[in-house]
Structure 1
Amino acid sequence: MGRIVISENVSLDGVVQDPTGDEGFERGGWFARIGDKDRGGWAEAEFDEALRADALLLGRRSYEWFAARWPSRSGAWADRLNSMPKYVVSSTLEDPDWNNSSVLKGEVPGAVSRLKQELAGEIVVYGSRQLARTLMEHDLADELRLMVHPVVLGAGETVFGGTSEEMSVRLLDNRTVGDGLAYLTYEFVRDA
């Protein structure tokens, strides 16, 4: 059975919205504020995560963002992302053109539950805040990895975004990446 891993870049106050500044959010572009050592450490951690993943699971907008950038890149990280299976949750995307991409049809909880049954290993969710919330709300997420950036934005969409119920998590790991990023790994605790 597969494990859903939500992997997010977040500000210190939990904002995940528009890290690259492409969405037009007035406080977007906060990812670019990290220095070279942090960027190198971040890239190393993300590449390691991609190597451990068996598949990517993305919402449509995140899929389109990645699909517009990664196919033209080269190197081991690009080779890994471009070759691995990718699943897109979308009601509008019909024919994804990024290599090894498939659209999951139907209601998200059922489609993702079936995917978890079909695959073994880690199914990593990058970005995709609406999808991440849906997965957490329906108790489909198994692990949460947060790369915390040392910036407080004071406004913006968070990964949790007003969940309907309390969620319990257990810290599995924490470490410093570069000079100023915190990498936190949690598992979701399910009622016994």
Structure 2
Amino acid sequence: MRRIIVTEFITLDGVVEAPGGNETAHPHGGWQTKYRSAEAGQYKVDELASVDALLLGRKTYDQFAAFWPTQTGAGFADPINKLPKYIVSGSLKKTDWNNCHILRDVAKDIAALKQSDGGDILVYGSATLAKSLLHHDLVDELHLMLFPVMVGGGLKLFDDNLELKKFDLKSSRAFDSGALILEYTAGS
């Protein structure tokens, strides 16, 4: 069975955002840039190299598809452009990026995807999709790159939905920048 791994950049107050920092209208966009490091970059390269496919929400797909197809390089661009990409969207009619497949139903289509042949599937960002995956108990691992900053508002990964979800710590690692990698597996 394939595993779904959700990876997020997250603040101490639970805000998630991509490295560009322009997804939400708060005054602290781009908070990750002060914490970039070679070791964190290598972690992200290794994380991508460990999977066989990507799973993206429509907004993340739009951002990725506007950038990555014109990029080259062994670390990120070549693998991202080559890997199968599964896009969850109720409105997307077609994709222009190679090797993309549109999924409509989170619970049904992703449960079937997990049962298909292949290796692990990585969810980059895609907070709305990640929330839905968590709700449907489809997340096998959480990889959180926790940054030592609070931004006071923005898109939260964990809402006040009162659902109990248990995870077990798989590994943790601190970077000199103050950021932490926390890897969790779904608990029982």
What band does the TM-score fall into relative to the shorter chain? over 0.9
Determine the C-alpha separation between the residues in 2 that align with 1:72 and 1:119.
29
- Check the 8 A contact 1:58/1:128 in 2, yes or no: yes
Q: 1:151 aligns to what?
A: 149
1:2 partner SS: coil
1:121 partner SS: coil
- Check the 8 A contact 1:42/1:178 in 2, yes or no: no
Matched, 1:92 2:125: no
Q: 1:30 aligns to what?
A: 31
1:88 alignment partner AA: I
1:101 alignment partner AA: C
Q: 1:79 aligns to what?
A: 78
Q: 2:134 aligns to what?
A: 136
CA RMSD of aligned residues (A): 1.5
Structure 1: which 5+ runs fail to align? none
Q: Report the more deviating stretch, 157-166 or 139-148.
A: 157-166
Q: Residues 163, 121 of structure 1: CA spacing in aligned structure 2 closer, same or farther, 3 A cutoff?
A: farther
Match of 1:177 among 175, 178, 183: 175
Q: 1:15 aligns to what?
A: 15
Q: Residues 10, 24 of structure 1: CA spacing in aligned structure 2 closer, same or farther, 3 A cutoff?
A: closer
Determine the C-alpha separation between the residues in 2 that align with 1:39 and 1:62.
23
1:170 partner SS: strand
With structure 2 as the length reference, what TM-score do the two structures score?
A: 0.92
1:141 alignment partner AA: V
Determine the C-alpha separation between the residues in 2 that align with 1:66 and 1:145.
20
The offset of 1:18, in angstroms, is 5.7
2:94 alignment partner AA: D
Determine the C-alpha separation between the residues in 1 that align with 2:93 and 2:166.
36
Determine the C-alpha separation between the residues in 2 that align with 1:179 and 1:24.
24
With structure 1 as the length reference, what TM-score do the two structures score?
A: 0.91
Deviation per CA, 1:86-120: give whole Å up to 9, x if none. 00000111111111111013x21001001111133
Determine the C-alpha separation between the residues in 1 that align with 2:18 and 2:45.
21
1:116 partner SS: helix
1:147 alignment partner AA: M
Counting aligned pairs with the same residue, the percent is 42
Number of equivalenced pairs? 186
1:122 alignment partner AA: D
1:57 alignment partner AA: L
1:72 alignment partner AA: T
Q: Residues 13, 79 of structure 1: CA spacing in aligned structure 2 closer, same or farther, 3 A cutoff?
A: same
Structure with the bigger percentage of strand: 1
- Following TM superposition, the consecutive aligned residue runs of length 4 or more in structure 1 with deviations greater than 6 angstroms are none
Structure 2: which 5+ runs fail to align? none
- Check the 8 A contact 2:144/2:183 in 1, yes or no: yes
The offset of 1:33, in angstroms, is 2.5
The offset of 1:28, in angstroms, is 2.0
Q: Residues 13, 63 of structure 1: CA spacing in aligned structure 2 closer, same or farther, 3 A cutoff?
A: same
1:89 alignment partner AA: V
The offset of 1:21, in angstroms, is 2.6
